Amino acid sequence: MPTARTVSDQLRDAIRDCGISVRQLGRRADVDDGQIHRFMSGERGLNLDTVDRIAGTLGLRLVEALRRPGRRPARARHPGAATATE
């Protein structure tokens, strides 16, 4: 079974495919373009506020993919992180 792509991977693809430079995206989203460059290279992550600004600028929204009946949500990968069932 194929592995699900992460939100970060999908956002990187959207940034690559958006047709504007990282510098322009940074200006439009009010995000430092160096921060976007580090995210694109995998060097750093982004906080949710920054993801929201970039996604809004690109016209993206987060939607939940439908789960098969009876499947439980994935467990959090980090100790102490909240899951959808908590």
82 lies in some domain:
no
Q: Is residue 72 part of a domain?
A: no
pLDDT at 11: 96
Q: Is the pTM of this model over 0.85?
A: no
Q: Hey, which of 1-10, 38-47, 72-81 has the most confident mean pLDDT?
A: 38-47
| Domain assignment present for 86 | no
Domain-located, residue 32: yes
Per-residue pLDDT tens for 19-40?
Answer: 999 999 999 999 999 999 999 9
Total structural domains in the chain? Answer: 1
Q: Cβ distance 18 to 58 under 8 Å?
A: yes
CB 36 within 8 A of CB 25: yes
Residue 35, domain extent: 7-58
